[in-house]
Amino acid sequence: MPTRGQALFIAYLIFINVVLCAVGFNSADPSAWYTSNHLEILTYVSNRAGILSFANIPLLVLYSSRNNILLWLTNWSHSTFLLLHRWIAAICVIEACLHSAIYLHIYSAQGEHSSESQRAYWYWGIVATLAMVLIVPGSMLQVRRRFYEFFLAWHVIFFLLAMVGCCLHIYYRYDFQWGYENWIYMALAIWGFERGMRILRFARHGIRTAQVSIVDDEYIKLEIPGIAADGDVYLYFPTLTWRVWENHPFSVMTDVCQGTDTGLSTTRITTDKDRLPISWTEKGESLDKMSLAEISNAPCQRGLVFYIRTQSGITKYLRGTKSKFPVLVESSYHPVVLSKPNPSGMTNIIAIAGGVGVTASAPILMRHEGWHRLFWAVRSKPLADSVAASLGADRFNRLNAVVFQDNRMDISRILQEEVSRCVGTEVAVIVSGPARMADEKFMFDYTDFVLSSECFYSIKAGMSG
């Protein structure tokens, strides 16, 4: 579900498109072009819907781009722009269908459909509209989750077909006299520029070598030595499948090690019940209980480490890979630090992570110089041990982690008790894990602090909202 701010902006997009489709029409009576005022107004509405559909295409392409200048101008997250992309795309498709349906009605009412439908502009308009419509079922959430590679190919093929259809529709109807095709050129320019930026991002690193190690039956560890990056990266595995263009996003757990200890002052969670609230003394486990004290400060090596939960698509091929293999690294993208305020600059941070979601929150906490605490729900002890070993004892200790392995985290109670310790100061709550963890309803159970959310929650403790 969108946040309140996202919902308001989506409502604005819908409202402005509806209004622009419905106002500003003046009927000429008598008219040399139309036999009735009714058909005249219908023609105006259809044309307006078609123009707005074209005008929205560059916007939906820009919103979908991960090399999007609006990310820097607005400080909104990429996930927010992807949400807006889906909504503006739906508006665009509806306007295209409205344009087509009204003209079908007009020519059918005038008895001219059989002749008009033989013209080239008509069937290229049908091709463009159908291509837009067919993108929709291939973009449903369940399709994206289960058949991500199929979704990407389907998306690109029908998008390009729709753009060709739109251009030829305008060419055969107006011979490019009125400039409507410029909207399509703009969209293709944005799309081409974005693809070019992706190539530049991975070309600067060259071809790297990756190696996979098995953590347990569910998780794997992917290591790429000799490269530095942070945030999110997109990885290409050209030898694992014949679909060499496919790329997948992963959060970087660690990259360049700066030394075994930076001297940052932090509070390490122990099993001392005076220092741990009862809500997770009973349910959580400290670092000592998980036998993480044996972790050593291994020599620092330049490279990237990823933890991946294996499912069906490309991760299945990764798990079955026994030897080293080439990889292209498109980096770096920063989905968290683009939010306002910057969580790394907050005085206090509470991080809630589930499973491999710790890979997104741990780098933020390691850069943070104020008070912070990580609450990590992880069913796999091998995963917890492997993550701790990859970070090294000093850096893992600086996370101030409370680990929940056998019991479910009570997120509401954790927030109540932790926020109460920070009365009068701002607290950033970072959530990375399953969708239910980031459900905003957890945050609205309280009346003693104000919330604003993007991809993390900023709390002013001790205030009423």
One-letter amino acid at 328 equals L
pLDDT value at residue 299: 54
Q: CATH code for 348-461?
A: 3.40.50
Buried b (16+ CB within 10 A) or exposed e, 347-386: ebbbbbbbbbbbbbbbbbbbebeebbbbbbbbebeebbbb
pLDDT digits (tens, 9 = 90+) for 352-381: 999 898 988 888 888 888 888 999 999 888
Can you tell me the distance from the alpha carbon of 103 to that of 322, in angstroms, rounded to the nearest whole number? 59
Q: What is the pTM of this model?
A: 0.79
302-320, pLDDT tens digit by residue? Answer: 789 999 988 877 888 898 8
In the predicted structure, residue 259 carries a pLDDT above the cut 80: no
> Comparing 179-188, 243-252, 268-277, 303-312, which segment has the lowest mean pLDDT?
268-277
pLDDT at 231: 81
User: What residue spans define the domains of the chain?
Assistant: 4-201, 206-258+299-335, 348-461
Pick the CATH number of 206-258+299-335 from 2.60.40.10, 2.40.30.10, 3.40.50.261, 1.10.357.10: 2.40.30.10
